Amino acid sequence: MGNYLIFFGPSIIRDARHRRDVTTRRRRFEMQTREAEVEALHRCAICGATEVSDPNLEFRVARNGEEYCIPHLSQAKAAT
Ligand SMILES: [Zn+2]
């Protein structure tokens, strides 16, 4: 167990530092996206998410002409 800590200790510290950097970067990114939200091309008609507020989200236009994120696309189909 002692050897384990010596071997993995430095990388755990590095991970913790990295995680903090990511959090800082993400916070900065969120501030930028809030300003850029008006420029979003896609917006979910149900939850209002955009490709700017949720960069990992994909959007599709349903048959009713409205745009939805993938999680809500099925609800859009059910409604028509
Ligand atoms: Zn949605």
Domain limits, the chain: 1-39, 40-80
Closest to 54 measured CA to CA, from 77, 66, 70: 70
pLDDT of residue 1: 57
Please give the Cα distance from 75 to 26 (Å, whole number).
30
Residue 59: exposure state from Cβ atoms within 10 A (0-12, 13-18, ≥19): buried
pLDDT of residue 66: 93
Centroid of ligand 1 to alpha carbon of 43 (angstroms): 8
pTM summary value: 0.49
Please give the Cα distance from 57 to 66 (Å, whole number).
16
Give the Cβ contact number of residue 70 at 10 Å.
12
Centroid of ligand 1 to alpha carbon of 23 (angstroms): 25
* Mean per-residue pLDDT, 62-68: 92
5-64 pLDDT, tens digit each: 566 677 777 888 888 888 888 888 777 666 554 678 899 999 999 998 999 999 999 988
Centroid of ligand 1 to alpha carbon of 73 (angstroms): 7
